[in-house]
Amino acid sequence: MPELPEVETIRRDLEKLIVGKKVLNIETNSPKQVQPSLEAVRKAIVGTTIKKIQRKAKILQIFFSNSTIIIVHLKLTGRLLVREKGDREDDWQHITLSLSGGKELRFADARKFGWFRLLKDEKELQKIFKEFGPEPFDDLTLPVFEKILGSTIRPVKVVLMDQRRISGVGNIYASEALFLAGIDPKRPANKISPTEVKKLYDSLEKVLKLGLRYRGSSDNDYLDALGHKGSYQEHFLVYSRQGQKCPTCSGLIKRIVLGGRGTFHCSRCQK
Ligand SMILES: [Zn+2]
């Protein structure tokens, strides 16, 4: 699933490519993915102009000139692509926004778990984001992070990925950060020492920054808004490297299942 670096890379692309464009039409061949309905969305946004693109957690927000907002969740396999009108149809293309200047914003999604959702205004948006935890590089400060980990006995990796606790971190960046910090993903979050918490906090920021620098990781379906792959997967230390040598100790990287998700770690380096 695209995480903070992937969704943020798309946001930055969209900001350059579609802000200022007028919406001419929206069409879909997968009506369930457009909420509350294609008709409602069409009525709300056709004729408006795209004002700005924001992101919180793994959710993108497209703001229109009449104060309506569309939030987009890519879920497992969603892609947002900016193409020219008349370009070859994209694989799994399900939603198309026709824009001025001959552009199209396309939503492609192999598994069809992603969605577009219309919101009336910013108030509605704030209501949704009340349920989300603080965001790295923003309100997730070290003291806040300490408090989050200290308040639960759940495994630290499960807490890192819990969107109600911390926004934007998923399986890839949680696995990589825990490896860098030398912490066993199964450890109860409240049993981690203050020194280790600091190390984990710094490691999390480090891997998220690397993810941004490499324009995301395309280990799965992720592509940026121009349809290009990210390259952070070429720099993974443990994620999806089970059976390969640990880059630090040459022991074997193991895959375990934790909170229902594949988790990659080195049991020698992570205690
Ligand atoms: Zn190791």
Calculate how far, in angstroms, residue 183's C-alpha sits from the geometric centre of ligand 1: 11
Q: At 197, which helix (H) or strand (E)? A: helix 194-213
pLDDT for the residue 181:
98
pLDDT band at 253 (very low <50, low <70, confident <90, very high): very high
Calculate how far, in angstroms, residue 253's C-alpha sits from the geometric centre of ligand 1: 7
Do residues 245 and 253 touch, judged by C-beta distance below 8 A?
yes
Do residues 112 and 76 touch, judged by C-beta distance below 8 A?
no
Q: What is the mean pLDDT of residues 242-263?
A: 96
Q: Is 261 a catalytic residue?
A: yes
pLDDT > 90? residue 224: yes
pLDDT > 90? residue 144: yes
Q: What is the pLDDT of residues 12-57, one digit of tens each?
A: 999 999 999 999 999 999 999 999 999 999 999 999 999 999 999 9
Calculate how far, in angstroms, residue 178's C-alpha sits from the geometric centre of ligand 1: 12
pLDDT band at 220 (very low <50, low <70, confident <90, very high): confident
pLDDT for the residue 247:
96
Do residues 180 and 157 touch, judged by C-beta distance below 8 A?
no
Of the residues 11, 58, 157, 165, which is catalytic?
A: 58
Do residues 6 and 210 touch, judged by C-beta distance below 8 A?
no
Calculate how far, in angstroms, residue 235's C-alpha sits from the geometric centre of ligand 1: 16
Calculate how far, in angstroms, residue 245's C-alpha sits from the geometric centre of ligand 1: 8
Q: At 124, which helix (H) or strand (E)? A: helix 122-129
Calculate how far, in angstroms, residue 4's C-alpha sits from the geometric centre of ligand 1: 26
Q: Is 198 a catalytic residue?
A: no
pLDDT for the residue 193:
98
Q: Is 3 a catalytic residue?
A: yes
Do residues 241 and 251 touch, judged by C-beta distance below 8 A?
no
pLDDT > 90? residue 118: yes
pLDDT > 90? residue 209: yes
Assigned token pair, 170:
């998923």
pLDDT for the residue 93:
98
Please tell me what DSSP assigns to residue 184: -
Q: How far apart are CA 219 and CA 2, in angstroms?
A: 10
* Beta-sheet pairing, 115-119 with 34-35: parallel
Quick one: what percent of the chain has pLDDT higher than 90? 99
Calculate how far, in angstroms, residue 266's C-alpha sits from the geometric centre of ligand 1: 5
Of the residues 42, 117, 198, 261, which is catalytic?
A: 261
109 burial class (0-12, 13-18, 19+ CB within 10 angstroms)? buried
Q: Is 58 a catalytic residue?
A: yes
29: closest CA among 117, 118, 120, 106? 106
Q: At 160, which helix (H) or strand (E)? A: helix 156-161
